[in-house]
Amino acid sequence: MKRILVTNDDGIHAPGLQILFNKVQKLGRPVIIAPDRDNSAASHSLTMNRPLRVRELDKDVYSIDGTPTDCVTIGIGKILAEKPDLLISGINPGANLGDDVSYSGTVSAAIEATMLGIPSIAVSLAADSEPYHYETAGAFIATLAQIILKKGLPKDTLLNVNIPNTTIQDIEGVVFTRRGRRLYEDAIKETFDPWGRKHYWIGGGTPSWDSGEDTDSAAISVNKISITPMHLDPTNYEALKFLRQDWQDLLGSK
């Protein structure tokens, strides 16, 4: 029986996690190992300044008082008897497009599992607000997971999947995309505490993205599911070649 590790960055009580767990029941034996609370934008952080507690909440359901990366590391290293055949992280209620990926706990959990040699996908619903169409994402992921369990994924590669927040009938197709750019205007709000002291609150803002046709954001804007393959190696090989040719002498030939 295939083992599927299910995690997220929104915490053990997030509805997207439960829907994912239910949807992949028919593919094997899913196990939830997720943070005990919301860890959105935790990125790839690992908790090293305190011990971590694992709680078994139900059969095949565990929470950890740590980050998504902690959950994957401890889950695979200590909780599961064998390496899982697949990791699915999500369903995040909010897109992980372009630059979002740098901050994403959802995607980082999939990166961590890929580093451990496990085929992995991150799943996000490209929603700005409720209602969240988790069912649309769940149905698609069950299909995609089945394919991955059969065919595997390229080495050191995870899939970052973004799904339009709409009904299954309104999905216009599935496309493979590259990661575009996505930046936010006015994402730092000034606010005041009860004593009148100024604080800054990061979040919200108006996103803008590059208009390249083959980007993740472009796919979502026309109601298509976006699948971006991400490699663990972010080296810029063109720059590496250029720097070796043009800069090496400036820095000494050894």
Binding site for Mg ion (CB under 5 A): 9-10, 40, 92
HEC assignment per residue over the chain: CCEEEEECCCCCCCHHHHHHHHHCHHHCEEEEEEECCCCCCCCCCCCCCCCCCEEEEECCEEEECCCHHHHHHHHHHHHCCCCCCEEEEEEEECCCCCCHHHHCHHHHHHHHHHHCCCCEEEEEEECCCCCCCHHHHHHHHHHHHHHHHHHCCCCCEEEEEEEECCCHHHCCCEEECECCCEEEECCEEEEECCCCCEEEEECCCEEEECCCCCEHHHHHHCCCEEEEEEECCCCCHHHHHHHHHHCCHHHCCC
Of residues 94 and 119, the one with the C-beta less far from Mg ion: 94
Cα separation, 243 vs 116, in Å, equals 31
C-beta of 235: minimal distance to Mg ion in Å?
A: 28
Task: Tell me whether residue 73 or residue 92 sits nearer to Mg ion (CB atom).
Answer: 92
Minimum distance from CB of 211 to Mg ion (Å)?
Answer: 26
Which of 117, 203 has the CB closer to Mg ion?
203
Minimum CB separation of residue 107 from Mg ion in Å reads: 10
In this complex, which beta carbon is closest to Mg ion, that of residue 10 or of residue 36?
A: 10
Please report how close the Cβ of residue 92 comes to Mg ion at its closest, in angstroms: 4
Sheet architecture: strand order including 54-58 = 54-58, 61-64, 29-35, 3-7, 86-93, 120-126, 157-164, 225-231, 174-176
Residues 57 and 66: their CA atoms lie apart, in Å, by: 16
The least distance separating Mg ion from the CB of residue 203, rounded to whole angstroms, comes to 12
The smaller minimum CB distance to Mg ion, of residues 8 and 85, is found at 8
Residue of this chain nearest to Mg ion (CB atom): 40
CB of 40 to Mg ion, least distance (A): 3
Nearer to Mg ion, 27 or 72 (CB): 72
Pick between residue 27 and residue 158 the one whose CB is nearest to Mg ion: 158
User: To the nearest whole angstrom, how small is the minimum distance from the Cβ of residue 152 to Mg ion?
Assistant: 27
